[in-house]
Amino acid sequence: MSAAAPAAKPTSAAKSDAAAAFARGLEGVIGGQTSVCSIEQDKLIYRGYEIHDLAAHATFEQVAFLLLEGHKPSADELARFKKEIVAERAIPASVAKFLTDAAPQLKAGTAVPMDVLRTAVGLLGHQDPDCQDNSAAANLRKSKRLLARIPTIIGHMQNAIDGRAFVQPDAALDHAANLLYMMTGRRPTTEEARVIDVSLILYAEHEFNASTFTCRVIAGTLSDLHGAVCGGIAALKGPLHGGANEMAMEMLKEIFASVGEAGIGTPKVDAWMEQAFASKRKLMGFGHRVYKNGDHRAGILHTLGRNLASRLGGTPGGLAATRWFDLGEQVQKIMLTKKNIHPNVDFPCGMTYFVMGIPVPQYTPIFVAARITGWCAHIMEQHADNRLIRPLSIYTGPAERRWNG
């Protein structure tokens, strides 16, 4: 049987057509099909379920099952899924040792938690018996292991930074509560656990965002799931993507340092913002490539965070929890009034995690603990119906010329 003929190279006409459709940053370009998630101007939908519905009535474990296994779980299916995840929470001794060894670099700032998490996931791949198997069944098993173990990596990493013994997973705690417990050694209240649980639901999936698209590009080469997830982590690290929640909180801390508590609610904050506008500073936690009239998720998390803050006391920033929300709301109002730009989910996330005492450098790793479900769902979808993702480009270099002459 003769070999298939190679695909024809794009003609000049095809290139010309592609150039006519060019959009910088692929804005507005449809990059593929998916049954995992739909983003619309007034809705965010995970496999047919709208995000407000999920945030109000589902748990993160239920949403994780929905994304990974493709349908709403029955009570028996959920019990089986939770049992599987709890059983996989422990990490290999070699990965735990790596986290301990990385602590000095984390403290010195030569390493950051997202880089350490990326390497730890790569190490997990080396020891996963299914690592090189891209079958649907193997990918699902790997997805569940990563879902279970990423919170343990985050918890152990923070314990190593703080110089504490590792807090081991607690099988009696649900996914979100266990994540907080391993980071702090303190069992969260019911309200704290629910707030972090909802935040994980909100961050779990978001269609063809930069990190998910990265995962799909890697998976499209028929590379393995762990490798694709490592690429997703690297993409999510950037301040224009997942790192925005960290940068949003750092901005609020900077404003507070400048104006003081007495300046909250006064024109001093307006003056700080005007200076930021004048210097064309990018203010993180605002705006979105897809949502032009506001991020559906932001209001959900802001309300939960504000309600929790009203029951908390002081924070690591030396300010009452509610005052951080007072400041944040003033900044939001200025951005909306002066620039007509709405906050995205990263802005309330920064404040909410901060008043809960979560170290700012761990915000984006916690994002990974949620988005791992969406990433793996997309990787499995890509492997199941694959075509190599290979776009064209518009050449802007010099015209053809001779090397000798």
Q: What is the pLDDT of residue 40?
A: 84
- 241 is known as an active-site residue: yes
Whole-number pLDDT of residue 63: 98
Q: Is 288 a catalytic residue?
A: yes
The partner residues of 45 in beta bridges, in order of sequence, read 38, 50
Q: Are the C-beta atoms of 350 and 363 separated by less than 8 Å?
A: yes
Q: What does the pLDDT look like over 49-79, one tens digit per residue?
A: 999 999 999 999 999 999 999 999 999 999 9
pLDDT recorded at residue 13: 56
Residue 80 makes CB contacts below 8 A (sequence gap 6+) with none
Question: 206, 226, 288, 302: which one is catalytic?
Answer: 288
Domains of the chain are 76-237+376-384 (1.10.580.10), 244-355 (1.10.230.10)
The tokens describing 162, both together, are: 């703080």
Question: DSSP per residue over 338-390, as a string?
Answer: HH---B-THHHHHHHHHHTT--GGGHHHHHHHHHHHHHHHHHHHHHHT-----
pLDDT digit string (tens) for 5-48?
Answer: 444 455 555 555 655 578 888 878 888 999 999 998 779 999 99
In degrees, rounded to 5, the angle at the alpha carbon of residue 379 between the alpha carbons of residues 374 and 383 is: 150
Count CB-CB contacts under 10 A for residue 390.
8
- DSSP-H helix ranges across 188-285: 190-203, 210-220, 225-236, 244-259, 267-278
**Among the options 52, 241, 270, 326, which is catalytic?**
241
Q: How far is residue 363's CA from residue 252's CA, in Å, rounded to a whole number?
A: 15
Contact 261, 326 (CB under 8 A): no
DSSP codes of every residue in 79-103: HHHHHHHHHT----HHHHHHHHHHH
Say how far apart CA 387 and CA 393 lie, in whole Å.
Answer: 18
**Any residues with CB less than 8 A from the CB of 371 and at least 6 apart, and which?**
203, 204, 205, 206, 211, 212, 232, 236, 242
346 labelled catalytic = yes
Alpha-carbon gap, residue 245 to 237, rounded angstroms = 11
Q: What is the pTM of this model?
A: 0.91
Selected catalytic residue, list 128, 130, 174, 346: 346
Q: Show pLDDT as tens, one digit a residue, over the chain (405 residues).
A: 344 444 445 555 555 565 557 888 887 888 899 999 999 877 999 999 999 999 999 999 999 999 999 999 999 999 999 999 999 999 999 999 999 999 999 999 999 999 999 999 999 999 999 999 999 999 999 999 999 999 999 999 999 999 999 999 999 999 999 999 999 999 999 999 999 999 999 999 999 999 999 999 999 999 999 999 999 999 999 988 888 899 999 999 999 999 999 999 999 999 999 999 999 998 988 877 677 677 889 999 999 999 999 988 767 667 899 999 999 999 999 999 999 999 999 999 999 999 999 999 999 999 999 999 999 999 999 999 999 999 988 899 999 999 997
Q: Taking the CB of residue 50, how many other CB atoms lie within 10 A of it?
A: 16
Tokens of 42: 């007034």
